[in-house]
Amino acid sequence: MKTRAAVAVGAGKPLEVMEVDLEGPRAGEVLVEIKATGICHTDEFTLSGADPEGIFPAILGHEGAGVVVDVGPGVESLKKGDHVIPLYTPECRQCPSCLSQKTNLCTAIRATQGQGLMPDGTSRFSIGKDKIHHYMGCSTFSNFTVLPEIALAKVHPDAPFDKICYIGCGVTTGIGAVINTAKVEIGATAAVFGLGGIGLNVIQGLRLAGADRIIGVDLNNDKKAWGEKFGMTHFVNPTQVDDVVAEIVNMTKRGADQIGGADYTFDCTGNVKVMRQALESAHRGWGESIVIGVAGAGQEISTRPFQLVTGRTWKGTAFGGARGRTDVPKIVDWYMDGKIQIDPMITHTLTLDEINTGFDLMHKGESIRSVVVY
């Protein structure tokens, strides 16, 4: 079949909207009509050329929602008409990682996914004889796409696509980092670095978990009001203080010894210097710092080992530690039950032809999430 898609033709170049060829689903695969897709900073990261796994030409996008149109041989858990969210972290429930119950990082198809291919090593997208690569196993910047059955979560049929697409990455990543990775307890103190589409969801996760003091950190003062909407209690602009780490440590001093530092800190920027600041803002003896941001090729984190010797823990999280087929339908239900907010964070709704505007808005810091509706 033919489908309209925004194709990433090369690093740093605008996406080009065009008609592409899409082969139908093979065994274990599902054809999905994408109804809406968010634009995540990770799409921008790959498009910029900073992603060591970036391949061009490719169809980016990994934060979608849609409807099953057709299933390939052997598909049992999904049928035509089911509403689904694509999962860049699949859940096969059979690989050693899934069976370990210690991680959400299913390994069933990770190797081919990183090569922009379906699990059988081929692509379903092309233009004539020229192959176009998949992206993160999802390619939601295409109106129709093919995914493995294990990379689709079946969700509530009444949930609005233009809102729940955000659960395909940002919402789940932010809330999951708090609940699954950090396992934040009631009364905790936390600092969130970067108040964009991910950081604001960390903040709403912290409020859900019952954190007392939630400090937001961003270079952009407009993010103060945004953070406060979702539960942030204090705001720091690093350019307006001498030393952001000292500031946070000072703000969180408590107890007879007056040692400061947050119980939990989160990097939602992808900047390795900020990752260090987040670690060093964590409390001596028990503070945990969670890396969510994705850093470019060649970037490395560093700190004095003494920071770890004195009891701070550095952790990372992908997709908020969520097991997609199990957890994503529950998060959609939380949204439907009014337990979490999504609508106010979707600041811009665009057509596919306007998709590059979504990247411009992100660059200018004017959007929280832009969503393309097909």
Give the active site residues. 40-42, 62-63, 92, 95, 98, 106, 110, 169, 369
Give me the count of residues in the chain: 374
d(CA 214, CA 223): 14
292 interacts with ligand NAD by CB under 6 A: yes
HSE-CB for 238 with a 13 A CA cutoff? 17
Residue of the chain from 162, 317, 332, 346 that contacts ligand NAD (CB under 6 A) = 317
The minimum distance between CB 14 and ligand NAD, in angstroms, equals 18
Candidate segments 28-36, 41-49, 158-166, 183-191, binder of Zn ion by CB under 5 A:
41-49
Candidate segments 34-42, 160-168, 303-311, 352-360, binder of ligand NAD by CB under 6 A:
34-42
Are 8 and 47 in contact by the 8 Å Cβ rule? The answer is yes
DSSP three-state, residue 347: strand
Residues 277-316 that bind ligand AHE (CB under 6 A): 294
Please name the helix (run of DSSP H) or strand (run of DSSP E) that holds residue 280, with its range, or none: helix 272-280
Residue of the chain from 155, 169, 217, 362 that contacts Zn ion (CB under 5 A) = 169
The site string for ligand NAD over 199-238 (x = CB under 6 A, - otherwise) reads: x-----------------xxxx--x--------------x
For residue 191, list its beta bridge partners: 215, 265
d(CA 22, CA 2): 6
Instruction: Tell me, by CB under 6 A, how many residues bind ligand AHE.
Output: 13
Amino acid at 179: I
Both tokens assigned to 40:
């995540």
DSSP three-state, residue 250: helix
Residues 47-86 that bind ligand NAD (CB under 6 A): none
CA dihedral over 205, 208, 209, 214, signed as positive or negative: positive
Point out which residues bind ligand NAD (CB under 6 A): 40-42, 45, 169-170, 173, 193-199, 217-220, 223, 238, 268-271, 274, 292-294, 317-319, 362, 365
Point out which residues bind Zn ion (CB under 5 A): 40, 42, 169
